[in-house]
Amino acid sequence: MRKRFIDKLNGFSPLSAEETAALADATSNSRKVAVRTDLIREGDRPGPVFVILDGWACRYKILPNGTRQVLAYLMPGDCCDLHIGLLAEMDHSIMAITPAVVVTVERLAMDAILDRHRGIAKAMYVAQLVDEGTMRAWITSMGRRTSVERVAHLMCELYLRARNIGLISGPDLALPLSQLLLADSLGMTPVHLNRVLKVLRASGAMVIARGTLQIKDPYKLIQIAGFDDNYLHRRLRQAA
Amino acid sequence: MRKRFIDKLNGFSPLSAEETAALADATSNSRKVAVRTDLIREGDRPGPVFVILDGWACRYKILPNGTRQVLAYLMPGDCCDLHIGLLAEMDHSIMAITPAVVVTVERLAMDAILDRHRGIAKAMYVAQLVDEGTMRAWITSMGRRTSVERVAHLMCELYLRARNIGLISGPDLALPLSQLLLADSLGMTPVHLNRVLKVLRASGAMVIARGTLQIKDPYKLIQIAGFDDNYLHRRLRQAA
DNA sequence: CGCTGGATTGACTCGGATCAAGTCGAGTGG
DNA sequence: CCACTCGACTTGATCCGAGTCAATCCAGCG
């Protein structure tokens, strides 16, 4: 299960055998987390860095008026911000949206790893840059894409990310996201999201049903979304 | 002019005299940039890290359909991502929106500084976390705030950031942002933005006129925006 | 077998986009 | 000094995408 995290980092910047071993060592102590548990809440003082080994989680904020905005999805291999411990308090919460397996790495241990293993540090910096790129893509979606484009774009992203970490190989992805959650990610109401899904289904591009995303026509979906995968930064600078 | 950058970092994590000197040294070689010049474009291979010493800039993306989304504003003291050099290409562009003074720090020089001066590294990591928090706040705004709230929220943010770096002291802020630019930041049309500004003016909370933001009633503005400054992380963990 | 939470659909309303005309102000050149 | 121009700001009229409210539908499950 740790494999996914190590593989993901290795994909960003090649790791030595020693570094792989160090990572495996640091992430050996995992724990299970129940669905809908907050890993950390807005206002909390950040503790150790954690890494999702299995299951999905999301970052989110609750507004004064009670509405919720989902800010990002965390899939196996993703981790929360490296230097989170420098902050006095969290500006958002993180919640498990499936039963999940999580490992926590103490701040000092994390610092030691980053210091000692430059390859790991480099890979994790890239991972962070990708997360930032993803946030920018979300801002762009919310600001300048129609609701149909927005949904298509998110599905392209989630599909590619899942594929990049080897979660899937075929055209289908197990999506443990309720329409309510998706609506809260995309800045729309559940009712409207449902209608958008119907449009996409009718277009023949994709279907979401019974917790599974089926991409029927990848080319069409990408075209609808105006999707460009550059922000996921898979092709990396060679001579870095 | 370099002072602003150093002061900002110092506010995030106290710097030693030696560190201050190292920063001053690294940022001594500045250049002027004309309005509306791109500092770097989407698709470019990232070069050195750069820091805005004077003037304003913005990150933005242009979509296939020609529309633009502004992703962030950079004010004096702000810098682009530290580890940007690890990526193969930029996923967005950065443009000067006023005549600006910019300093570029070569990647190796930057790495050396981060290695040698932990205080600088820490302060810059915090700065990056703040930028991420800001992006999350933007996502939240776009997704779950009305247009009036959104405008008010952005103005609170810009005002506080300007104040935090000592750009202003009174209730007024010189805002070099056209309505078109603001509209492209907030995911609305210039026409609608204009009407929203009128509403805010009528409410007595704030006025934007002739390139100046005047906050007439701070309490009311914050209330309209539902603004919480926690994401700017000014109160930092003491024992960090 | 009925309960419950998510998904789906319909009817109506409204915020914000679009289209179209101005207006204002700063520069520029006659 | 004034007319001309150009870009940015304003305002009005109309339309449409998305929100709201409300009623089912449906599947999993205690």
Nearest CB among B59, B91, B240 relative to A86 is that of B240
Burial B227-238 (b: 16+ CB within 10 A, else e): bbbbbbbeebee
DSSP B79: B
Token pair for residue A22?
Answer: 């160090």
Q: Which pLDDT score, from 0 to 100, does residue B237 have?
A: 46
The Cα–Cα gap between B121 and B126 comes to: 9
Q: What is the pLDDT of residues B43-77, one digit of tens each?
A: 999 989 999 999 999 999 999 989 999 999 999 99
Q: Which pLDDT score, from 0 to 100, does residue B235 have?
A: 56
Residue A55 and residue A100 in contact, taking contact as beta carbons nearer than 8 Å: yes
Angle at B163 between CA B161 and CA B165, to 5 degrees: 75
Q: Considering only CB atoms, which chain A residues are within 8 Å of B136?
A: 59, 61, 71, 91-92, 135
Residue A176 and residue A98 in contact, taking contact as beta carbons nearer than 8 Å: yes
Task: Tally A–B CB contacts below 8 A.
Answer: 151
Residue in the block written with tokens 């709230």: B149
Q: What is the pLDDT of residues B18-41, one digit of tens each?
A: 999 998 888 888 899 999 999 999
Which pTM was predicted? Answer: 0.94
**Inter-chain CB proximity B140 and A69 less than 8 Å:** yes
Least confident of A174-178, A227-231, B134-138, B234-238: B234-238
Report the DSSP beta bridge partners of residue A72.
A59
Nearest chain B CA: its distance from A238 CA (Å): 8
State whether the Cα torsion B129-B131-B132-B133 is positive or negative: positive
Q: What is the pLDDT of residues B73-109, one digit of tens each?
A: 999 999 998 899 889 899 999 999 999 999 999 988 9
Q: Which pLDDT score, from 0 to 100, does residue B240 have?
A: 41
Give the alpha-carbon dihedral of A82, A236, B36, B186, to 10 degrees.
-50
Nearest CB among B128, B142, B236 relative to A88 is that of B236
Q: How confident is the model at residue A235 (pLDDT cuts 50, 70, 90)?
A: low
Q: Which pLDDT score, from 0 to 100, does residue B11 have?
A: 87
Q: What is the pLDDT of residues B182-217, one digit of tens each?
A: 999 999 999 999 999 999 999 999 999 988 999 999
Taking CA atoms, B173 is separated from A109, B1, B154, B159, B194, in Å, by: 44, 18, 13, 7, 19
User: Which residue is closest to C5 in terms of CA–C1' distance?
Assistant: A178
Count of positions (residues) in chain A? 240
Give me the amino acid identity at B146. T
Query: In the structure, how far is the CA atom of residue A43 from the C1' atom of nucleotide C10, in angstroms?
Result: 42
Q: What is the DSSP string of A142-201?
A: HHHS-HHHHHHHHHHHHHHHHHHTTS--SSEEE----HHHHHHHHTS-HHHHHHHHHHHH
**Inter-chain CB proximity B85 and A240 less than 8 Å:** yes
Token pair for residue B229?
Answer: 């400054």
**Inter-chain CB proximity A81 and B233 less than 8 Å:** no
> Coil, helix or strand for B128?
helix
> CA Rg, chain A, in Å?
18
Token pair for residue A187?
Answer: 């800045």
| pLDDT above 60: residue A239 | no
Nearest DNA or RNA nucleotide to A193 (CA to C1')? D18
Taking CA atoms, B21 is separated from A226, B27, B28, B50, in Å, by: 47, 10, 11, 18
State whether the Cα torsion B94-B95-B100-B103 is positive or negative: positive
State whether the Cα torsion A49-A54-A60-A62 is positive or negative: negative
Nearest DNA or RNA nucleotide to B195 (CA to C1')? D10
The Cα–Cα gap between A131 and B17 comes to: 34
Strand D-proximal residues of B, range 181-240, CB below 7 A, are: 190-191, 194-195, 197-198, 209
Q: How confident is the model at residue B236 (pLDDT cuts 50, 70, 90)?
A: very low
Q: Is the CB of B69 under 7 A from strand C?
A: no
Q: Is the CB of B192 under 7 A from strand C?
A: yes
The Cα–Cα gap between B205 and B217 comes to: 5
Taking CA atoms, A50 is separated from A68, A82, A83, A104, B183, in Å, by: 23, 9, 11, 4, 37
Q: Which pLDDT score, from 0 to 100, does residue A236 have?
A: 47
Burial B123-132 (b: 16+ CB within 10 A, else e): bbbbbbbbbb
Residue A45 and residue B237 in contact, taking contact as beta carbons nearer than 8 Å: yes
Nearest DNA or RNA nucleotide to A178 (CA to C1')? C6
Residue B63 phi/psi, 5-degree rounding, is -90, 160
**Inter-chain CB proximity B235 and A126 less than 8 Å:** no
Nearest DNA or RNA nucleotide to B188 (CA to C1')? C16
